Structure 1
Amino acid sequence: MADITMYELPGCPYCAKVRSKLDDLELEYDVIEVPRSHGDRTEVERVSGQTGVPVIIDEAHDVDGMHESDDIVAYLEETYA
């Protein structure tokens, strides 16, 4: 199991942006696909307080439920680049 977990929805362009950065940085990460319906996204809501994706958890740096793709990409650059 990787330190980074990403919650995503297939086909989501914001999720693809984060996934691309993770791949560019050659980071290992686990993916959890969320349901299409926001009402069914109980797990991502539990970890981030909201139902939008992408969301990441980075156990190595005590990051729980970071959302907003631009914020995630900036964090990954700052932490791992």
Structure 2
Amino acid sequence: MSDITMYELPGCPYCAKVRSKLDELDLEYDVIEVPRSHDERTEVEEVSGQTGVPVITDETNDVVGMYESADIVDYLEETYA
């Protein structure tokens, strides 16, 4: 199990942006696919307080429930580049 976990919805362009950055930085991460229906996204809501994706957690740096793809990409660049 990796320290970074990404919650995503297949086909989501914002999720693809974050995935690309994770891959570019050669980071290991786990992926949890969320249901299409926002009403069924209880797991991601528990982690981040909202139902949108992408969301990441990073146990190494005590990051829990970071959302907004631009913020995630900036965080990954600042932390791992």
Structure 2 counterpart of 1:5: 5
SS in structure 2 of the partner of residue 50 of structure 1? coil
TM-score by length of structure 1 reads 1.00
Whole-Å Cα distance in 2 between the matches of residues 65 and 15 of structure 1? 14
Q: Point out where structure 2 has 5 or more consecutive residues left out of the alignment.
A: none
Deviation string, structure 1 residues 13-72 (Cα, Å, up to 9, x no partner): 000000000000000000000000000000000000000000000000000000000000
1:6: Cα distance to partner? 0.1
Compute the displacement of 1:80 (Å).
0.0
2:17 aligned residue: 17
CA-based RMSD of the aligned residues comes to 0.1
Counterpart Cα distance in 2 of 1:15 and 1:43: 17
DSSP-derived class of the 1:36 partner: coil
- Structure 2 residue 32 is the aligned partner of structure 1 residue 32: yes
Task: Give the drift of 1:11.
Answer: 0.0
Letter in 2 for 1:28: E
Unpaired stretches in structure 1, ≥5 consecutive residues: none
**Aligned twin of 1:54:** 54
TM-score (norm 2): 1.00
Is the aligned partner of 1:71 residue 2:71? yes
